[in-house]
A = this chain, B = another copy of it.
Amino acid sequence: MASKYVSLQNLKFTLNRVHQAHEMSHYEYFKDYDEDAINMMIDAAKQFSDTYLFPFYEDMDRNEPELEDGVVKVHHSVKPLLEAMAEGGYIGAGAPAEYGGMQMPSALSVALGFIMSAANNGAMGFSGLTAGAANLILTFAKEEYKEKYIPNMFAGKWQGTMVLTEPQAGSSLSDITTTAKPIGDGKYRLTGQKIFISGGDYDAVENIIHLVLARVEGAPKGTKGISLFIVPKYRIEENGDFTFNDVTPAGIYHKLGQKGTPAMHLMFGENDDCEGYLVGEENKGLSYMFQLMNEARILVGLGGCAIASAAYYASLEYANERPQGRRLNDKDPDQPQTLIVNHPDVKRMLLLQKSIVEGGFSLVAECAKYWDYTRVLEGEEKEKYELLLEILTPVVKTYPSEMGIVSVSNGLQVLGGSGFCKDFPLENYYRDIRIYPLYEGTTGIQSMDLLGRKVTMKQGKAVKYLFAEVNKDIEAAKTYPELSKYVKILEEKLQVLQSVTMKLIGIAMKGNIELFLSDANLYMEFFGTIAVAWQWLKQATTAKQILLTENPQGEDLKFYESKIHTMKFFFAYEVPKTLGLAQRLMDDEVLTIATEREVAV
């Protein structure tokens, strides 16, 4: 088993130095989170993960839960994990103190989530979902519901879920058919089937609080007729007793990865006795759900680079211990073998991983900080950060998920044949991370969201804000001559991005939305690569400043030099991919639109 899965030094550098997360403590709401508090919480999360998460990673994968006699029995580590999570305050970390939360800034909580996801990504899902569901109740539900559900959710006794997908609708939420019939007093009777419900049923919690999208009888078709309901597995009676609420597990999915986390097929109201409690107003459910969805999307991106982090350190450890072959300029078989870390191709695979892991996390932290600003600012400033968050959310969900797969695959490759074997954790990370481009809206959905909604919203206002942010960091980088080459590349790529965007918007303005969005996926890859290049320039600028002013030594010196080196690597090996993407995006040849005279694929 590999021993290291995350670099605390990198997390602290990214939060405290690159993104100045402690600035949040200047706001009353976040006042407790100065740099010392941030560092302390990071250290504590690592200790927590070493105790409750990392040791069970392999065993959870090997002992998958089954649905037997209507009960899903999860791994024995889940119950103590949830109790400890609650005790550490992690489940309610982001919530206001008045509801038992810690008012933690997201810029910090993503670092804690990164550590925990790197330690055991599947196990993290339980509390992550509960936190998201609880926050949704806190934002939109009646006070009565908050009091009824939140304390036990934050206490790790009740699981929260998000319940959207139906067998016949998949990603097309406008086609969901689960129905809700009003029975008075804000109560509804629900009937329908839902699939792919993570944590949807299991035996280590007392109750499951589902947040369910459904249609009130007679609601408009499409997404405008969707409402949101709280649907507990057990109704809580006046006296505190539990009554089964007719939510039945119809099946458990057996999956490629994240095997320890049960994904359920659920039946609501099979015996016409399933009560749901409306959240907010009827027919506005989808907009509420999007708070949770957007939060979840950032956490998916976070999870992607966290798994890639664990894979990176496992492969780095192997590369630093495994002798094999000789350096190519000195192939004398009488000499001892060299460590494989010294082979350029292995070093390339390691640097690629590092660039994705740390570049991806820096982008997550950037978004988290925007998120925090939306909570403490008002007016135009608040709108600015909301728009920045809007445009980056699909990107921060997608880049670490898609490139995280590439990263983990390179980690596996570093181990050679051993990477394919279960003696090392790489194959497990490789299986787990494959869900990330599917979770919470596939890459295709995210890409259409980015190009079709976010880029064009408010006459491109979000893009303008984003470019302003990038340009601010470019200006800072210009202080250091060693960075000028990369400043120039990034400036040039931003121009190409603008040209590509204008070209595509031209198609949209002619009304052909299908053509406009047909290569949205490539646009996303382009956009994501530039976004991460920006983060690397930003990190290198900070590292350069520290090198010049703080005279770091030893391992610290290596750390900062490696930051600049990895930035160079990303610009040399990853940024050039935008050339091919831009060529295709500027090309008018139509090849993927279905035609009357169909050409078989």
Contacts and interface: CB of A to CB of B under 8 A. Distances in A.
Interface stretch (A201-209, A359-367, A574-582): A574-582
A444 interface: yes
B420 A599 contact: no
A291 interface: no
A413 B437 contact: yes
A438 B417 contact: yes
Interface string A289-326: 00000000000000000000000000010000011111
Contact of A517 (B328, B412, B580, B581): B328
A191 interface: no
A95 to B, nearest CB: 29
Q: Which of A329, A417, A589 has the most CB of B within 10 A?
A: A417
Which of A196, A348, A442, A565 has the most chain B CB atoms inside 10 A of its CB? A348
A327 interface: yes
Interface stretch (A39-47, A48-56, A80-88, A250-258): A250-258
Nearest to A346: B444
Q: With a 10 A CB-CB cut-off, give which of A405, A562, A580 has the most chain B CB atoms.
A: A580
Interface string A425-450: 00100110011011000111001100
Contacts of A522: 573
Interface in A8-27: none
Contacts of A334: 221
Interface string A260-288: 00010000000000000000000000000
A3 interface: no
Contact of A343 (B430, B444, B589): B444
Contacts of A430: 256, 434
Interface stretch (A120-128, A151-159, A171-179): A171-179
Interface string A589-601: 1011110001111
Nearest to A579: B579
Interface in A191-223: 195-196, 221-223
A508 to B, nearest CB: 10
Interface in A25-75: none
Contacts of A175: 324-325, 333, 337
A448 B325 CA distance: 13
Nearest to A251: B423
Nearest to A221: B333
A56 B118 CA distance: 36
Contact of A172 (B172, B337, B520): B337
Contact of A601 (B168, B172, B351, B518): B351
A196 B416 CA distance: 11
Nearest to A426: B256
A137 to B, nearest CB: 25
Given A171-B416, A589-B572, A222 B347 contact: no
A444 B349 CA distance: 10
A354 interface: yes
A255 B594 contact: no
Pick the most buried of A348, A354, A592: most chain B CB atoms within 10 A of its CB. A592
Contact of A442 (B195, B416, B518, B580): B416
A409 B196 CA distance: 20
A562 B599 contact: yes
A383 interface: no
Contacts of A565: 591, 599
A599 B547 CA distance: 14
Interface string A495-523: 00000000000000001111001111110
Contacts of A171: 324-325, 416
Contacts of A174: 325, 333
A166 to B, nearest CB: 11
Nearest to A220: B333
Contact of A422 (B196, B256, B327): B256
Contacts of A348: 518-519, 521, 591-592
B222 A591 contact: no
A341 interface: yes
Contacts of A562: 599-601
A568 interface: yes
A363 to B, nearest CB: 20
B337 A594 contact: no
The winner among A420, A512, A522, A583 for most chain B CB atoms within 10 A is A420
Contact of A416 (B170, B427, B558, B566): B170
A344 interface: yes
Given A333-B222, A343-B444, A420 B172 contact: no
Given A172-B324, A221-B333, A255-B422, 16 more contacts: A169-B324, A172-B326, A222-B333, A316-B601, A344-B519, A351-B601, A354-B601, A409-B434, A412-B434, A420-B435, A430-B434, A558-B600, A568-B589, A568-B591, A579-B579, A580-B580
8 contacts: A175-B324, A196-B417, A254-B421, A345-B592, A348-B592, A413-B444, A522-B573, A573-B584
Q: Which 6 A-B pairs have the closest CB atoms?
A: A576-B580, A222-B333, A344-B518, A579-B579, A172-B325, A256-B427
